[in-house]
Structure 1
Amino acid sequence: MSAGRYIFILLILAAGNLFSRKATCQSAEKRTTVPAFMSWFESDIVGKIHGPFSWQTDIQFRTSSNERNIGNGQHGNPWANPFQVVVRPWIHYDLGATGLKFSVSPMGYWATWNYYNGEDTFEPEIRSSFQVQYSSRAGRVYLTNRLRYELRWYGQEKPVNSGFHVPAGSNTDFFSDDSFKQRLRYMFRAWIPLSGKELVPGTWYVSTFDELFIGFGKNVTSQHTFDQNRFYAGLGMQVGHMMRWEVGYMNQVLPRFNQPPDYNNVELNHILATWLFFDNVGALFQKKSGQKK
């Protein structure tokens, strides 16, 4: 398939994201869109184990403004409130030239501060994930299709005063049957070099993706099957053979149907997203070939 067709698919997904946002906002009486501005930083650190095996650690730090339905200001400051801190490990098995990679994250931890209901609360989550990824090339365009299955257990939601405070007793009862949810995520992503045909050190590139989230299980109602959608476009640079960075804009749509106190809200988040990738962190500590001891 040509690069043009893959880019056309990505544009269709992005159009679907805009259509779903419009539809969810207009299809029900008194449904409102609640925007917020956010800053998300993520560092993905990858290291080799042996042969096709590698490890990865994702570290995420997210902050947010107040949403427009909260009347105490700070609506335009994406760093006004804590939102999430995440640590997630992975083990990968890469099939090399086939483009396939299988991954498992045995247990990651999410610390989430909520404030959309006008009351600050903290809710922790433990998550296990299974993933299959297919990477390919279409001319100069690098492509990735990724499917992820998530098992999610929530701790106790507790009120919190302010800041990155973790209230006592919140990290309990994770594995209650009533707190368990499941989710599927599909992402289609493209990297397009701007200053050449290969992602070699010093190359600037455009990165874009669309990711759809579908929730399911007995604790997920039919109104929340469509969990969210994320669309991202940004600019990055291949700094070295093992390090990249990106910065861009992400649009996140989250329906919050039948949830008090403001029923039928749709959250629309405008996100400044920054990534720092270490594709082989071990190489940073290796001596160059031929270097004297």
Structure 2
Amino acid sequence: MKSFLPSPSIQLLVLLLLSLASGAQAQTHRLTATPPSYRRFNSWLMVNSDARLNDKWGLHTEAQLREVKGPNAPQQKFLRIGANYYAANILVLSAGYAYTMSFPEGNDSELGSLPEHRSYQQLLLRFDSSRVQTQHRYRLEQRWVRRPGSGQFTYLNRLRYQLRLTLPLSSQKKVLPGTPYLTGYDEVFIGFGRNSDGNIFSQNRACLALGYQISHATSVEMGYLNQMASQEEMASLAANHILHLGLNFNPDFRKGKLTAESN
């Protein structure tokens, strides 16, 4: 059956254009006055895991420390857990729960913390028939957010779409153990519903990173992430320049898989 997807070269060009557009927005908003507490440069430390339990089911876990001043002073802590259903070779359906704890000024107890509870549903499409591996991620989120100055939670809806491309930096067609690779993605966040206050655009994230596949299950990544985020209280956009550090651990516990990969 003929594929209606654009060629890998076209997909890579689209991703690069989206990243450049996000960077151009960041340059524009550098001229905008921001409060003294605003931090433009920071880092995100990420650990992601998709464990394959059997042919149909898997477990997703994720932990992040965001906007880190030091190991004991993250501005935001993030945890996610979910179930993955492998409907086909290219299609994964997921659902789960995420929890975020934000500190407006780092660990300043006088300002308090801002928790968020979140449920999500996700559809993931993966294509790896060419050297450029392509991933489309569609995610719907239901969020219960405590905003600054409020003792109650506000319910919000959000839709996210991410395009991710991965290219092995070797003569091999796929990313195998011992292979360095280049990966990049662009993700747009759209808010909707009664409490969105007409603010449809929530944020955009564009990332370009170098990775290394240590084993079948483990890889590490380091790169640059540009985040354009809507600031409701200021009616403006904030540009964040982020050092992205990631560890991926994706074991396969299906019969025979774990033993074969460890050998």
Q: Please indicate the TM-score interval, normalised by the length of the shorter structure.
A: 0.7 to 0.9
Aligned partner letter, 2:179: T
For structure 1, the residue ranges without an aligned partner over 5 or more in a row are 66-77, 160-169
What secondary structure does 2:174 align onto? coil
TM-score by length of 1: 0.75
What is aligned with 1:268? 239
What is aligned with 2:16? 11
Q: 1:60 aligns with which of 55, 64, 71?
A: 64
What is aligned with 1:85? 77
Give the C-alpha shift of residue 266 in structure 1: 2.4
Aligned partner letter, 2:10: R
Shift in alpha-carbon separation, 1:188–1:37, aligned structure 2, 3 A = same
Distance 2:41 2:116 in 1: 23
Give the C-alpha shift of residue 190 in structure 1: 0.6
What is aligned with 1:2? 7
Q: Name the larger-Rg structure.
A: 1
What secondary structure does 2:15 align onto? helix
What is aligned with 1:277? 248
Aligned partner letter, 2:86: D
What is aligned with 1:101? 92
Distance 2:72 2:33 in 1: 23
Distance 1:157 1:208 in 2: 33
Matched-pair contact (CA < 8 Å) for 2:23–2:226: no
For structure 2, the residue ranges without an aligned partner over 5 or more in a row are 1-5
Shift in alpha-carbon separation, 1:288–1:102, aligned structure 2, 3 A = closer
Matched-pair contact (CA < 8 Å) for 2:203–2:230: yes
Aligned partner letter, 1:271: I
Matched-pair contact (CA < 8 Å) for 2:252–2:258: no
- Cα RMSD (Å) of the superposition? 2.9
Q: Does 1:124 align with 2:95?
A: no
Distance 1:218 1:31 in 2: 29
Matched-pair contact (CA < 8 Å) for 1:208–1:234: yes
Q: 2:223 aligns with which of 248, 256, 274?
A: 248
Distance 1:108 1:221 in 2: 23
Q: 2:135 aligns with which of 144, 153, 159?
A: 144
TM-score by length of 2: 0.83
Distance 2:25 2:140 in 1: 22
Give the C-alpha shift of residue 155 in structure 1: 4.0
Aligned partner letter, 1:108: A
Q: Deviations over 1:63-112 (max 9, x none)?
A: 345xxxxxxxxxxxx77942111111010111333x1111101x221111
What is aligned with 1:165? none
Matched-pair contact (CA < 8 Å) for 1:32–1:264: no
Q: Does 1:46 align with 2:50?
A: yes
Matched-pair contact (CA < 8 Å) for 1:63–1:79: no
Greater Cα shift, 181-190 or 46-55: 46-55
Matched-pair contact (CA < 8 Å) for 1:191–1:206: yes
Give the C-alpha shift of residue 136 in structure 1: 0.6
What is aligned with 1:216? 192
Distance 1:241 1:268 in 2: 36
